[in-house]
Amino acid sequence: MTNRTQRFICIGTQKAGTSWLHWNLFFHPETDIIEQKEFNYFWPVFDWRACLQNRVDSGFESWNGALRTLIKSACYCNPRFNYRQYIQCLWPIRTPARYLRIITPRKGKKIAGDICPVYANASIDRLREYYSVLSQSKRMIILRNPIERAWSQFRMITVTRNLGDLDEEGMKREIDARCLAYSRYSEILNTWDRAGLPLDVFFYEELCHDPAMFFKTICEYLGITPLADFPNSKVHEPIHVGRKMSMPDSIRAHLEQRLGDEIAFCSQRFPNRWTRDWANPLADQQVRVACAGAGTGE
């Protein structure tokens, strides 16, 4: 039987320090992390092959050019990323057995892993299909104040979707349409629980409070040497710097209405200082200042 300590999967959540975690685990000397964050191996919604084929058929790019364009931002940690090898991983029919081989550590490494926030919203049928692999892996998720997480995602999509300046009603429409699913922690955790794959939970605010200690905690969880200083370490640096936007009071009230139940759920399931702060606007403001100073870039 495969040793569960040899592999792990981090399913997000999106805008909770996963790029920071990916970079630092990628360069940790004892890990074998998939070079592309958001590998999307068992996520059925996004079809890499169809997307590539569309770009090539449109005459815009060659196969290699299309692949580079699609994943260049996700492979930021390695400018010599092996695109040809990557396409050989995703192109064949994807199976649990293939995925198991992909996240098995190479000789000299203690653990292999995949960090991909879209897995948070995988269906229970897909989780059951990949149960043989996932049950042999450590499974983790980083939670963040659901309101702050949704706002951070909105700030990101204003850039990626070139939305320009929206009025507050336009903001609410975009947030409701695109920014709530990854903040619905009760649904995410319950789906993974029902699949027999409970998740180990960490908190983004703990990362903001003390990045080095948080990273060492993750290292201990993974069974690797708890280091914060190693070649190419960015434990104390941002990976992606997001657009700076203050949340209007009306948007905060809107998100409190949409996600207040999630804060209550987490406060009851995880009664700790971080979830208590989520429910305390004054304390949470202090946490937001700490997160801004920590430089995670989220």
Query: pLDDT per position in the chain (298 positions), as tens?
Result: 345 569 999 999 999 999 999 999 999 999 998 877 777 888 764 555 666 666 666 665 666 666 666 665 555 556 555 555 556 566 567 889 988 988 899 899 999 999 999 999 999 999 999 999 999 999 999 999 999 999 999 998 888 777 778 899 999 999 999 999 999 999 999 999 999 999 999 999 999 999 999 999 999 999 999 999 999 999 999 887 777 888 999 999 999 999 999 999 999 999 999 999 998 865 556 555 556 555 455 5
What is the signed CA dihedral for 183, 184, 187, 189, rounded to 10 degrees? 40
User: What is the C-alpha separation between 131 and 87, in angstroms, rounded?
Assistant: 24
Q: What's the order of all strands across the beta sheet hosting 31-33?
A: 31-33, 111-115, 7-10, 138-143, 200-203
pLDDT of the residue at 53: 67
Two tokens at 186?
A: 């009760």
User: What is the C-alpha separation between 55 and 101, in angstroms, rounded?
Assistant: 29
- Identify the H or E element spanning 102: helix 96-102
pLDDT of the residue at 1: 37
Q: Is 214 helix (H, G, I), strand (E, B) or coil?
A: helix
- Identify the H or E element spanning 33: strand 31-33
Q: Which of 111, 87, 89, 128 is nearest to 9 (CA)?
A: 111
Residue type, position 211, single letter: P
User: What is the C-alpha separation between 45 and 189, in angstroms, rounded?
Assistant: 20
Domains of the chain: 4-42+94-294 (3.40.50.300)
